[in-house]
Structure 1
Amino acid sequence: MKLILLNKNCKRITVSFFFFFISVCVAFGQSEKPNIIYILSDDQSWTDYGFMGHPHIETPRIDELAAEGLTFTRGYVTAPLCSPSLASIITGLYPHQHGITGNDPEFTFEKPRYQTDWQTARSRLYKDYLDEFQKHPTVPQLLQKLGYVSFQSGKWWGGHWKEGGFTDGMTHGDPKRGGRHGDEGLKIGREGMTPIFDFMDQAIADKDPFFIWYAPFLPHSPHTPPDSLLQKYLPKAPTQAVAAYWAMCEWLDITVGQLLDKVEEEGLTDNTLVVFVTDNGWIQDPERPNRYAPGSKQDPQDMGIRTPIIYKWPGKITPRMDTQNLTSSIDMAVTTLEAVGLDPLPNMQGINVLDKKALSKRKQIYSMDFSHDMVAVEKPEQTLESRMVISGSWKLIDPGAANGDNQEVLLYDILKDPMETKNLADSHPKVVKKLLASLDKWWPGGSGPN
């Protein structure tokens, strides 16, 4: 009897140890999944950071992030406009694929834009574009398979945060309450970081790995920085409008520091992948406050599409300032998924930038410029203004059907001429031919969403 009881006890001990072992493995596995934070600047030139050499703008916390991460100074976004650019970041697809090529659908309305009636009418027409976008899984949706919780804050064009695959968030998307591009989410950063910090606290308490979309309305207009920052830049800037924009850039930097400090305080730095990018560029008009100058936002020049891109993950990513390799915001989804052990979806267009072989094999990257207003989700070529390809030192801009300003092919040596002042197309016809062929192979401009 004692032997039988002993056997039974032993069996219980064995079973109990087995489940203990499994629980430890599960907990260990969860701790190994990195938390992920996307920091998305809004309307900022690639030149407007301390580490990128700006003589006046101070961005010490982003500079620190750049020094501690793998920083690509030759990064690009998929479009010089926020809605298509952000949609590409979260899906890993180009605008002509995910269906969001502009900010708003084109329609005639008697009353001024952005009023409640206009918002309601826009929402009805925007549904076709949102339906197309939602056919494609987002990064937070895919991460949820591994138990991630996720939080949306800041700029967001995809309706309610739930429609983007987030488990929590701020944006409601209701047009009757101003829902268009972020609504309540646009308070983040400008009015503090509490919603993100509360989410982090809950995820930590629940022992859930988390994904944070931090896309503050910074340095985006209205340029209303704290007065202390404005006063700091007024003596340095040529005009008050420029000073206000410069101050907004530092305000963004301060909030980035607050977020990274929270990560550090919670002991999560070593197990957190931080990715930084800007949605599109900006040149501040010196005479008109809150206005951008030509050649930046909504334009195909580098001041509209170029951005530094930073990946920081201590112990996993070796810090390095990469001034040679070309990268794109299209890479963020693929890189993130592979970092957590998930296979990217077959139609995702980027590469894992942590894969040195893939990075070295890349010969060119692409971008595209569409009209602000969209005509038809199934015919993106109707509002195509330019296709862009960057290959080595060359950049080619090919005009599309909606480009009413210029139908001339533009070719620049952007290493020698980063401000794109001299068109070399006539003197390098072979380069033009080769790059046009590359563009047509990538997307001829008439295939529609796929």
Structure 2
Amino acid sequence: MHFYHCCRALLLAVAFSGWAMAADAPPNVVLILSDDQAWSDYSFTGSKTIETPNLDRLAQESLTFTRGYVPDSLCRPSLATIISGLYPHQHGIVGNDPPKTAKGDPSLPYQTGTRNDFLQHVDKMPTLAKILKQEKGYVSHQSGKWWEGNFSRGGFDQGMTHGDITKGGRHGDAGLKIGREGMEPIYDFVREAKADGKPFFVWYAPFMPHTPHTPPERLLAKYRKQTDSLPIAKYWAMCEWFDETCGQLLDFLDEEKLADNTIVIYVCDNGWINLPNASKYAPRSKRSQYEGGIRTPIMVRWPGHATPQINTTELASSIDIVPTVLAAVGIKQQPEMEGINLLDAKAVAARDTIYGEILEHDIRAMDDPVKSLRFRWVIEGPWKLIVPYAPNEPNEKIELFNVVDDPTEESNLAGKEPEVVKRLQAKLDAWWSVP
């Protein structure tokens, strides 16, 4: 135990030293987001088939949490949480597509204006790009997945997503070319920021390994030798192709001599389990309340400040990403942000519980998150409680799992552990009480 506490004290000291230096030389920030990838589909998390050498290296160089989570297993709410540090029910983006009318009646014809109307939420909420620019003069660039209209609405100075719904704008449009068709837009932006002497923030959220699963033939051939399922081979190959693009980005930071003063953070927006007979997700993965949907590794690399360690026990959440960056650059997090600074070892050790909410794909109401709610969930240590929202999920039951011993959630222990259920239900209601 003495060694354990000494390690935590060291991490805490490192975090405070980072704050002290932030005022002199603000670090650059690069956020890497995978799109639709299971938490176990990396070499460093135990995959025996998928090779991810670049992300393995990043994990070894980072403070890496293998028990990381996103509150919702659906991309748009998840990405909004990552950029804002707020839960979906706080920022109001509680599904991928807005109500078919402003009143949320799905029986009425779709009105394109509603999609634009729903962008009110990104206009109101804090975003990391806005905060870094206003407080510290950062310049920022968006590429890849982005649902919230034009990149500028998120506070980015430059970007690839136009967001015009009359020209195919929905979840990234032209930005979805990044990674699949090269990395030059990011390279050009970074070189420009470097020449101008500006600290920069990069949002790299490629449409990878997301469908369409169209990997290079060289990678597909490699994985076809390992499975009889063509859809699974395609998905595995996509994971390695995505890994290659991450390596290109990390190598570029090295070549430009920027790596030492750049915070690199990695997270996946939601999980994915590929069906064997189609390039589609299986139950208990994307959109689900299970580990296959909400769990993801979370990494923070900051040379000289974040002590590399693969942490397999402590809990981390994507709500922590914005607070971690703000602490590193010397900005106080906003009161409504409930996340912690992952480089503060004391805060990490003190946390024993994280929360989340599973929401409908199509948003039920413009300004009432509860109408889109399906499940709330809470994790305390090894215990995970899943509580259905009865009005929307009347046939589902409360589930309790020990996800340390049972990570695939095969054994519902709710009936055997009523006191644990009662305690965690009380925590869940204290976090977000719903009717």
Is TM (by shorter chain) over 0.5? yes
Contact kept, 8 Å, 2:360 with 2:374, in 1: the verdict is yes
Partner of 2:246: 256
Partner of 1:92: 85
Contact kept, 8 Å, 2:23 with 2:330, in 1: the verdict is no
- Is 1:367 aligned with 2:353? no
Residue 124 of structure 1: CA displacement? Answer: 1.4
- Is 1:213 aligned with 2:210? no
Residue 175 of structure 1: CA displacement? Answer: 0.7
Supply the distance in 1 between the matched residues of 2:289 and 2:22 (Cα, whole angstroms): 44
In the TM superposition, what are the counterparts of 1:141-290 in structure 2 within 5 Å? 141-145=130-134, 146-288=136-278, 290=279
- Is 1:314 aligned with 2:303? yes
Superimposed CA distance per residue, residues 394-425 of structure 1 (whole angstroms, 9 cap, x where no aligned partner): 00000014544742000000011000011000
- Is 1:42 aligned with 2:63? no
Partner of 1:413: 402
- Is 1:81 aligned with 2:74? yes
Find the structure with the greater CA-based Rg.
Answer: 1
Contact kept, 8 Å, 1:72 with 1:308, in 2: the verdict is yes
Opposite residue 325 of structure 2, the aligned amino acid is T
Q: Could you say if the C-alpha distance between residues 62 and 29 of structure 1 is closer, same or farther in structure 2, counting changes exceeding 3 Å? A: closer
Supply the distance in 1 between the matched residues of 2:22 and 2:275 (Cα, whole angstroms): 51
Supply the distance in 2 between the matched residues of 1:334 and 1:177 (Cα, whole angstroms): 35
Superimposed CA distance per residue, residues 296-329 of structure 1 (whole angstroms, 9 cap, x where no aligned partner): 0000000000000000001111000100100000
Residue 129 of structure 1: CA displacement? Answer: 2.9
Give unmatched runs, 5+ long, in structure 1.
1-27, 109-117
Residue 136 of structure 1: CA displacement? Answer: 1.3
Supply the distance in 2 between the matched residues of 1:39 and 1:60 (Cα, whole angstroms): 15
Opposite residue 432 of structure 2, the aligned amino acid is W
Contact kept, 8 Å, 2:22 with 2:328, in 1: the verdict is no
Q: Could you say if the C-alpha distance between residues 134 and 402 of structure 1 is closer, same or farther in structure 2, counting changes exceeding 3 Å? A: farther
Supply the distance in 2 between the matched residues of 1:122 and 1:30 (Cα, whole angstroms): 48
Q: How many residues align?
A: 407
Residue 127 of structure 1: CA displacement? Answer: 3.4
Partner of 1:68: 61
Partner of 2:334: 345
Contact kept, 8 Å, 2:23 with 2:329, in 1: the verdict is no
Supply the distance in 1 between the matched residues of 2:151 and 2:120 (Cα, whole angstroms): 15
Supply the distance in 2 between the matched residues of 1:205 and 1:142 (Cα, whole angstroms): 22
Q: Secondary structure at the match of 2:275?
A: coil
Supply the distance in 1 between the matched residues of 2:111 and 2:82 (Cα, whole angstroms): 23
Q: Secondary structure at the match of 1:51?
A: helix
Deviant stretches of 4+, over 2 Å: 28-31, 126-129, 401-407
Opposite residue 173 of structure 2, the aligned amino acid is D
Alpha carbon RMSD of aligned pairs, Å?
1.5
Partner of 1:138: 127
Q: Secondary structure at the match of 1:32?
A: coil
Question: Aligned residues: percent identity?
Answer: 54
Residue 149 of structure 1: CA displacement? Answer: 0.3
In the TM superposition, what are the counterparts of 1:392-407 in structure 2 within 5 Å? 392-401=381-390, 403-404=392-393, 406-407=395-396
Higher RCO, 1 vs 2 (CA within 8 Å, ≥6 residues apart): 2
Supply the distance in 2 between the matched residues of 1:402 and 1:383 (Cα, whole angstroms): 10
Q: Which moved more, 1:163-172 or 1:371-380?
A: 371-380
Q: Secondary structure at the match of 2:30?
A: strand
Contact kept, 8 Å, 1:102 with 1:370, in 2: the verdict is yes
Partner of 1:32: 25
In the TM superposition, what are the counterparts of 1:10-29 in structure 2 within 5 Å? none
Contact kept, 8 Å, 1:77 with 1:367, in 2: the verdict is yes
